[in-house]
Structure 1
Amino acid sequence: MEVLRDMQIQGTKVPHLVILPLPFQGHINPMLQLATLLQSKGFSITLIHTHFNSPNPSNYPNFNFEPIPDGLSDSQLWTEDPVKILYFLNDTCQAPFHDRLSRLLSDGPVTCIITDEIFYFTKAVADQLKLPRILLNTGSATYATTTASLKLLQQNGLLSITDGQPNTLIPEIPPLRIKDIPDIGTTDPDTFEQLGANVLNAMRSTLGYIMNTFDDLESTALAKIRQDIHPMPLFAVGPLCKFSPGSSNSLLTQDYSCMAWLDKQAPQTVIYVSFGSTASFDKRNVVEIAWGLANSDQPFLWVIRRGSIHGHDQVELPEGFEEKTRERGQIVNWAPQQKVLAHPSVGGFWTHNGWNSTLESICEGVPMICSPYLWDQNLNARYVSHVWRVGIQLENGFDRSEIEWAIRRLMVEIEGKDIRERVRDLKENAMHCIEKGGSSYESLDGLVDIIMSL
């Protein structure tokens, strides 16, 4: 670390990192947090990004921003299978990324590329331009080990899920049930298989592998990755949301008015409800959510994002709901989530369990109600509720009586007190990891050292 500061003082050229995030909220957040952290250590940062979901340069005045075309149309974004979009981006971004990187090299050296692991095309570009490359995995270590185990078990015909029901435990990968297997949300499993094979192949010859997690949370999974899956150096530098808390990475406009409303609420009484940037529900589910919140008698802050209700641009809540909840409910289009979770009035988080949201909740000591939607969220919810035991999972979709009971269990029953104590312990562990001498602090030092050795 001191080497970088000394180089700046002596006028030596600062090491230059090129960062390429995958253009989705759950991937952009940790990548920009990582870039902000590395910039604070003295590195020069150039962010190459797609036009789709382009980040706001004004939030990062010390970064250099370089846009590249991605070829995505609005119709694709609304209708295409998400896996096909990922495959498409890997195809269309390779040539413009190569051209932009070549131009950067003509102006001066680039020390290293740091890219989302799903952008497998960057291996070919890095090889052609003779640049080292480091990968960022934005999911949990448990998700990485589970998907690897599933693939191996399927290949060997050893996976015992053929005749099971959704709640059947899978003996080979406890504590997961059939329903907890990651849902890739695709109608084209062959394309997904090819995408995964391409990602795995592109991991070869990389300089290192960064993960947004910490040892005290996922020590077993991290050990398995180090030993069995990825032989390259592994840097568990999370939670990035606490290592780099000052950066604003939201692709949606945040409504800060909810903070003043939270100021008026009693400590640990508010249930914060947000299902992320991509989940959408039919109107019947929204009605059940609304009445579950209303009947719980707890104050709530509910994020209803535009596009989150199928076929409806405007929010249409059931008759009588507003009258019943006027004194204790607040609805916004989008919230500054980290600030909300850190607010003393928030006592619970009803979440889709994306990895970023799960980490943010743990890091603020806020227990969860889990309603997973896609991808890794089923697995994350299972670990929250049954391994770390810092939340309650809604097992049967959206039913107002089950929602009401889950909120009351978490917020007012003795069970919620025990859950709150466990999540506070995890919060303390997370803070220890990023302090000097902690595992994530040391891992970050190792990442800086390996880049400086180039």
Structure 2
Amino acid sequence: MVDTHKKPRAIVFAYPLQGHLIPAVHLAMKLASKGFTITFINTQSIDHQISKGKPHAAAGDDIFAEARESGLDIRYATVSDGFPVELDRFQNLVQFREVHLHHICRHVDELVGKIVRTAEPPVSCLVADTFHVWTPMIAKKYNLVNVSFCTQIALVFTLYYHLHLLKNNGHFASNCNRKDTIDYIPGVKAIEPTDLMSYLHDTNISTVLHQIIYKSFDEVKAADFILINTVHELESETISALHQKQPTFAIGPIFPSDFTKSIVATSLWSESDCTQWLNTKPTGSVLYVSFGSLAHVSQDDLMEIAHGLWLSGVSFVWVLRQDIVDSREAYSLPVGFEDSIKDRGLIVTWCTQIAVMSHPSVGGFLTHCGWNSVLEGIWCSLPLLCFPCFSDQIPNRKLVVNDWKIGINLCDEKSITMKEVADKINRLMSGKSADGLRSEVKKVKRTLENAIATDGSSEKNFNQFIKDLEVKIHKKRGLATLSQLP
């Protein structure tokens, strides 16, 4: 446990996307609960979006106001990403990524320097999302312990970490990538190329996004510690292999202390309350449908899913962001669809996902397989109908369907049909198949529960990380003092 008389102070910097922000916030709170003083940094644009989503927040309050009232020592700061806060980042995605690759470091350097010069207690540690490309430079400049926080599964982390092996073996970055099983990544028994992250399937691998991936996973090799939002028992071989290279700790799932209600606002949109509607439905009868905060689906797929929901006869809550198809164009549903399902379907633009999934009437989850969504679905004992769209969602689906047996692939072919959607919704929600999935998901949930118990692997790993971090901080301080001697 941290000596509260010499409390360490850490800067925590999330990556400016909803799926990365949520676990970073809960990590900051967990560190604060262990006696750390935290300065949490958001970009000004993310702070602006959260404020718009919570229009009735008290003037002058930041997102950690309630956390401080509960006794956690968490300060808050924002930094410019180089664009006006009102600019839609997703309609200017290439330029936005360019700034994060080449220019935001200057703003971060200025802010961190100011915090380091004025903070009391002094800053000793920088915890930054793995996808930030500037972390080692900033940590070295200000003599801070460098902690990389991965919000994705260890499998994804280690595949990116070993990109050179994929490239050398012709499974990535070749004119015609190999299609055979990949069995040479340390800590990974075997994986099919079709289960790699979408960016490793691309033929154009010189994009800004690829440059961010290359640079961030080169830079992560300089980290003093790596934290991963996963559970050791679920990815033990992968974690162990990584730990042989660098100190790596599985500390997940990182949830708020009250799972159904976080005291920190992290939603980038205003949330609909679905409780009253859900209260009218029988236990386990409702399918929750959401493709997360970032993924897009094609208009054709959206129409097939809508028709499939109608054919299934199952009640559902469907989160349909306005930009679900394209950031510049509105989506469309089948003519008459909303009228035809008004008694058994609720469509909202955004909601409090955990509140919906933990409601007794919800019995299944049609998901894009974002890692936060997978963890939350497991915690709510929901079998998963998997429709990954891009990025890490594809290997997440592999774990869910192939390894843990807690979900079903929505489409086994490249395109989906309304009949396949309807059939698989019914397999997920009722019958022997559903019973088997629920039995398996309860086993995985117990693994999560055991991991974060007082004597669980994640809690032990977290405490060990803090002990090792204290040793590293003292060494850095000692070396800094010696360097100042005449």
Shift of 1:203: 2.4
Which residue is equivalent to 1:324? 340
Which residue is equivalent to 1:232? 246
Which residue is equivalent to 1:206? 223
Determine the C-alpha separation between the residues in 2 that align with 1:76 and 1:359.
27
Q: What are the ranges of 5 or more consecutive residues in structure 2 without an aligned counterpart?
A: 52-60, 69-73, 474-486
Contact 2:367/2:386, CA 8 A, preserved across alignment: yes
Shift of 1:87: 4.7
Determine the C-alpha separation between the residues in 1 that align with 2:88 and 2:116.
35
Match of residue 221, structure 1, among 228, 235, 238: 238
Match of residue 194, structure 2, among 175, 179, 191: 179
Where 1:350 maps in the other structure, the secondary structure is strand
Where 2:45 maps in the other structure, the secondary structure is coil
> Does structure 1 residue 388 correspond to structure 2 residue 388?
no
Distance 1:175 1:265, change over 3 A: farther
Code of the residue aligned with 1:184 in structure 2: it is: Y
Which residue is equivalent to 2:38? 45
For structure 1, which segment, 129-138 or 307-316, has the greater mean C-alpha deviation from structure 2 after superposition?
Answer: 307-316
Match of residue 300, structure 2, among 260, 281, 284: 284
For structure 1, which segment, 194-203 or 33-42, has the greater mean C-alpha deviation from structure 2 after superposition?
Answer: 194-203
Contact 1:169/1:175, CA 8 A, preserved across alignment: no
Code of the residue aligned with 2:197 in structure 1: it is: P
Determine the C-alpha separation between the residues in 1 that align with 2:135 and 2:217.
13
> Does structure 1 residue 127 correspond to structure 2 residue 140?
yes
Where 2:272 maps in the other structure, the secondary structure is coil
Shift of 1:234: 1.3
> Does structure 1 residue 261 correspond to structure 2 residue 274?
no
Match of residue 60, structure 1, among 47, 60, 64: 64
Code of the residue aligned with 1:436 in structure 2: it is: T
Shift of 1:252: 1.7
Q: Deviations over 1:121-152 (max 9, x none)?
A: 12112211112121101110111233345540
Which residue is equivalent to 2:480? none
Aligned residues: 439
Which residue is equivalent to 1:251? 268
Which residue is equivalent to 1:446? 464
Q: Deviations over 1:86-112 (max 9, x none)?
A: 453132221221111221122231021
Contact 2:288/2:366, CA 8 A, preserved across alignment: yes
Code of the residue aligned with 2:64 in structure 1: it is: Y
Distance 1:75 1:188, change over 3 A: farther
Determine the C-alpha separation between the residues in 2 that align with 1:281 and 1:45.
38
Where 1:360 maps in the other structure, the secondary structure is helix
Match of residue 11, structure 2, among 18, 26, 32: 18
Q: Percent identity?
A: 29
Contact 1:33/1:244, CA 8 A, preserved across alignment: no
Which residue is equivalent to 1:346? 362
Contact 1:15/1:110, CA 8 A, preserved across alignment: yes
Q: What are the ranges of 5 or more consecutive residues in structure 1 without an aligned counterpart?
A: none
> Does structure 1 residue 433 correspond to structure 2 residue 451?
yes
Contact 1:182/1:378, CA 8 A, preserved across alignment: yes
Where 1:210 maps in the other structure, the secondary structure is strand
Match of residue 241, structure 1, among 255, 258, 263: 255
Distance 1:22 1:163, change over 3 A: closer
Determine the C-alpha separation between the residues in 2 that align with 1:278 and 1:210.
24
Contact 2:299/2:331, CA 8 A, preserved across alignment: no
Contact 2:370/2:392, CA 8 A, preserved across alignment: yes
Match of residue 365, structure 1, among 381, 402, 419: 381
Which residue is equivalent to 2:24? 31
Determine the C-alpha separation between the residues in 2 that align with 1:345 and 1:198.
45
Distance 1:52 1:311, change over 3 A: closer
Match of residue 400, structure 1, among 415, 418, 424: 418
Determine the C-alpha separation between the residues in 1 that align with 2:458 and 2:41.
26
Where 1:190 maps in the other structure, the secondary structure is coil
Compute the TM-score of the two structures, normalised by the length of structure 2: 0.83
Compute the TM-score of the two structures, normalised by the length of structure 1: 0.89
Match of residue 105, structure 2, among 70, 87, 94: 94
